[in-house]
Structure formats: structure tokens, C-alpha cells
Chains A and B, each alone.
Chain A
Amino acid sequence: QKEVEQDPGPLSVPEGAIVSLNCTYSNSAFQYFMWYRQYSRKGPELLMYTYSSGNKEDGRFTAQVDKSSKYISLFIRDSQPSDSATYLCAMTGTGANSKLTFGKGITLSVRP
């Protein structure tokens, strides 16, 4: 089993839709969870950052972590064409588990 699995996509939704992006992981030592957004011909940029379990909201974006199920999600409300990008989950722990591990990314297209 891979350490981090992410739905492969691609995903296409109409403007205004609620988008749910998900990752599962196997390493119970992971404590820090991130979502990066990568536009075409750009480097990934940090979108959301969460420590341990729980929810974090920033505008139209909500990151959710369920450590008991080893499952993280990113929700995008009222999706816009400008949200069209590749989204990568990433996670890490501390000490021997401090290497950042990425999902493979999912490409989202929001149709006007």
C-alpha cells in the first residue's frame, strides 16, 4: 500500500459546484497535513495547512482531517474557473517521519 493515495482524476465540474478532493494515508505518525495548488506552468503553492485532526476553513476552502480513518479532504464551495488547477495533498510527521510525502495530484477543471 502506498503511503499516500489520492484520487487520480481528472475531475471536471460546472461553475458553482461543491468540489471534494480526498487523500488516504497509511502512516499513523503523520500529524501535519497540507494541500498545495499548482497552476499550469507554475510551481505548487501552499493552499491549506492543518495540524492533527479537525477542520480548517479559509474562504471557500475547507480542509478536513480524520486521523482515525487516515483520510483528509479539501472542499471547495462555489467553485470558480480560477480554481482550475492540480491539487496535491501532502503530509508529514516529526523526527523519523518528518519527510514530506505527496499524493500524485488531481487535476480539476471548473467549466464556466
Chain B
Amino acid sequence: EAQVTQNPRYLITVTGKKLTVTCSQNMNHEYMSWYRQDPGLGLRQIYYSMNVEVTDKGDVPEGYKVSRKEKRNFPLILESPSPNQTSLYFCASSPSEGGNSPLHFGNGTRLTVT
């Protein structure tokens, strides 16, 4: 089954404790992206990757890191999480960037930072 898999689904952590949210897709997509979704603010892009070893900032990159060492994986790293990073996170992928390549989303990771 074609899918984007995120882990974990739920995560509670404390301020300053480094964490990684994993994302993997099995569709051989070149483009991958991370979003956060907050009430009243909608989906906001954190980082994206056009291909292996090619990453770029989205609209809200502060406090986050990403890497793209393999085509299928695109982990999101929070080096020193803070309470304002409490949110619902989505990883997404598509064959390429652009309107004729709609995104496929994972089922989300709900992160709480206390």
C-alpha cells in the first residue's frame, strides 16, 4: 500500500530534550515536506526537500532541522524543544513539487512539550 509513515503518533517530552520524528514514504517520491498544524493558523510548512541532500526552509523553520540522506526518509529533528513547538506535525510527499503533483500526507504526530 502506498503510504507516508510517521513515528511516533504521540509524543510528550520536556523542554530541551532532543527528539526526532521519523517520516518514510514507499512511493519513490522526490519531494518531501514537513508541516505543523495549529488551531486558527492552519498548515504551515517547516522544511521541504526536492531530492536527496537538497533541503530548504519553509515558512516556520526556526527551532527545527531536517536531513534527507535517502530518498524515502525525511526525519524532523528538534534539537531543544520548547513549549511553543507543541503542535500536530505532518510529513507529506509527492512525485515532484508543483501543482500537478498533489501531496500525500502521513497521519500526523501530536507533540506536547512541557
Contact = CB atoms under 8 A, between A and B. Distances in A.
A32 B42 contact: no
- Is chain A's binding surface mostly helix, strand, loop or mixed? loop
Interface of B: 4, 40-43, 45, 90, 92, 97-100, 102-108
Interface residues of A, number: 24
Nearest to A4: B42
A9 B103 CA distance: 24
B59 to A, nearest CB: 9
Contacts, number: 52
B3 to A, nearest CB: 10
A32 B99 contact: yes
Contacts of B92: 43
A94 to B, nearest CB: 6
Nearest to B33: A100
